């Protein structure tokens, strides 16, 4: 796995999202944000996340989908339960994943972050394959970008977001990064 000059990771399945735009001029990508998502909530598999990030989610397909119809959101990456990696936005562009957010006094985290969604829920554990893929992805991104921080969505949007949740094993991720 490596980051190509066009901002797409070789080895990730490309699913281009329209929910992206240019980063501000001179923005350094210094933060990786870890998220969790499942659609419908608590259910895994299927293509609902891809449909959400590409504005093709059918609001009639599930009652929850009607509640989120019209959202224009995306992330750079999605790591499925089996470790499969999907990419929606090239890394040099801004994905719409953090919303109203602040990290270490800097607002608008989308301007300077990479968003990585893990297929999962706040109240459940993540899979070994997801941790392995996340570790590999972070290694690739750190080799090409000035990433200095890794944070949870809940840390940049406290009171508004709770993901990836208490079951996310931060020590496991951080110890793996220390060995890179």
Identify the pLDDT of residue 180: 57
Tokens of 107: 């607002």
Identify the pLDDT of residue 176: 75
Q: How far apart are CA 146 and CA 98, in angstroms?
A: 19
Identify the pLDDT of residue 113: 98
Q: What is the set of active-site residues?
A: 117
Q: Map tokens 């990585």 to a residue.
A: 116
- The predicted-structure confidence for 90-120, as pLDDT tens digits, reads as follows 999 999 999 999 999 999 999 999 999 999 9
Instruction: Kindly report the backbone phi and psi dihedral angles of residue 47, in degrees, each rounded to the nearest multiple of 5, phi listed first.
Output: -115, 15
Do residues 83 and 130 touch, judged by C-beta distance below 8 A?
A: yes
Q: If residue 139 lies in a helix (H) or strand (E), which one and from where to where?
A: helix 128-144
Q: How far apart are CA 76 and CA 91, in angstroms?
A: 7
Tokens of 113: 């972050």
CATH architecture label of 2-44+73-178: 3-Layer(aba) Sandwich (3.40)
pLDDT beneath 50, residues of the chain: none
């Amino acid at each position: 796995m490596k980051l190509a000059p066009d901002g797409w990771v070789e080895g990730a399945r490309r699913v281009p999202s329209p929910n992206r735009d240019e980063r501000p001029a001179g923005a350094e990508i210094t933060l990786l944000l870890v998220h969790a998502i499942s659609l419908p909530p608590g259910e895994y598999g299927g293509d609902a996340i891809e449909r959400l990030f590409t504005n093709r989610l059918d609001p009639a397909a599930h009652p929850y989908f009607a509640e989120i119809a019209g959202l224009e959101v995306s992330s750079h990456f999605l790591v499925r339960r089996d470790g499969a990696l999907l990419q929606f936005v090239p890394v040099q562009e801004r994905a719409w994943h953090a919303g109203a957010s602040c990290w270490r006094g800097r607002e608008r985290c989308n301007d300077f972050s990479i968003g990585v969604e893990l297929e999962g829920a706040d109240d459940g554990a993540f899979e070994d394959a997801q941790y392995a893929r996340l570790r590999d992805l972070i290694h690739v991104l750190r080799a090409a970008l000035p990433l200095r921080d890794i944070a949870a969505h809940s840390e940049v949007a406290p009171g508004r977001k709770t993901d990836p949740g208490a079951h996310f094993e931060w020590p496991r991720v951080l110890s793996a990064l220390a060995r890179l």
